[in-house]
Amino acid sequence: MFKSLLALLRRDLRLAIRHGGESLMPLLFLFAVLILVPLGVGPGPNLLSAIAPGMVWVAALLASLLALEGLFRPDLEDGTLEQWWTAPAPVGLLVTTRLFSHWLITGLPVILFAPLAAQMLYLPDHALPVLMLTLVIGTPILSLIGGLASALTLGTKRGSVLLSILIFPLVVPVLIFATGAVSAVADGLSPQAHLGLLTSLLILAVVLAPLATTAALKLNVE
């Protein structure tokens, strides 16, 4: 069973590497935001350090959102998705594996480059660990919620508009608590409440999203 999951993960990553341009999208977004926003709002350290957590998070959000259209649709169209139901592994775990590879491609690069981004935006040094922590807790939530929305909109030909409308209200809390935590630390307050709420969102998403996504995929395969 684990061999099947590993096989799926390997193939997903191999396909992601082969579509090199698409896989670099998250990082391109991060740097586009990092370079363009200071040009727009002015390079003053005070202003930039205040909006730094929000900007890194917006980049993470956009990176995650952009890759959603390709999360299940190509598999539905070439027939590999229906094969999941004949696999030796339960579909729910295959779905979780696919979401994990989505996170590896969209979430992880943003986390790895967040320290650089924080430097470029004058984020106070003592706030960086918390920014990283919010990204580690928060980006998987984006992948999980995004996966659910993308499975739900699979039946519509051009689902991306519907997809964004579905996702936005669900990811707003993630954004609020994550940036709230970083701002709190930057202001010398404790980020614990925000981090706690963010973690509870993660737990909720980890438990419920793969189940709901599996059910939504099943509907679309039928």
Partner 1 sequence: MSELLLAEAVGFTRSGDLVFDPVDVRLERGKALVIAGPNGSGKTTLLRLLAGILTPACGKLERHGSLAFLGHLAAVKGDLTVRENLEFTVRFCAHPGMPVNQALARVGLAGLGLRPARALSAGQKRRVGLACLLVARREIWLLDEPYASLDDVGGELVDSLLEQHLAAGGAVALSTHQRQPRLNTDPGRLLIRPAARGGE
Could you tell me the two tokens for 148?
Answer: 């659910």
Query: Binding of partner 1 at residue 164 (CB under 8 A)?
Result: no
Could you tell me the two tokens for 183?
Answer: 């701002």
What is the largest distance, in Å, between two alpha-carbon atoms of the chain?
A: 58
Query: Binding of partner 1 at residue 85 (CB under 8 A)?
Result: yes
**Cβ contacts of residue 64 below 8 Å, gap of 6+?**
26, 102, 106, 107, 139, 142, 143, 146
Query: Binding of partner 1 at residue 13 (CB under 8 A)?
Result: no
Instruction: Please give the Cα distance from 81 to 145 (Å, whole number).
Output: 19
Q: Which is nearer to partner 1, 10 or 126 (CB)?
A: 10
With CA atoms as reference, report the closest residue to 173 among 64, 63, 95, 61.
61
Query: Binding of partner 1 at residue 10 (CB under 8 A)?
Result: yes
The binder of partner 1 chosen from 32, 44, 83, 168 (CB under 8 A): 83
User: By rule CB under 8 A, what string of x and - marks binding of each residue 96-135 to partner 1?
Assistant: ----------------------------------------
Q: Kindly determine how many residues on this chain lie close enough to bind partner 1 according to the rule CB under 8 A.
A: 25
The binder of partner 1 chosen from 25, 50, 87, 132 (CB under 8 A): 87
Q: Which phi and psi (to 5°) does residue 102 adopt?
A: -60, -40
With CA atoms as reference, report the closest residue to 218 among 71, 95, 96, 101.
95
Percentages helix, strand, coil for the chain, rounded to the nearest 5?
85, 0, 15
With CA atoms as reference, report the closest residue to 99 among 218, 31, 15, 8.
8
Q: Which stretch binds partner 1 (CB under 8 A): 33-41, 83-91, 130-138, 177-185?
A: 83-91
Q: Which stretch binds partner 1 (CB under 8 A): 13-21, 124-132, 162-170, 177-185?
A: 13-21
Q: Which stretch binds partner 1 (CB under 8 A): 15-23, 51-59, 101-109, 144-152?
A: 15-23
Instruction: Please give the Cα distance from 81 to 75 (Å, whole number).
Output: 5
User: By rule CB under 8 A, what string of x and - marks binding of each residue 17-56 to partner 1?
Assistant: -xx-------------------------------------
**Cβ contacts of residue 185 below 8 Å, gap of 6+?**
126, 127, 130, 191
**Closest distance of CB 204 from partner 1, Å:** 27
Q: Contact positions toward partner 1, by CB under 8 A?
A: 1, 3-4, 6-8, 10-11, 14-15, 18-19, 77-80, 82-83, 85-88, 218, 221-222
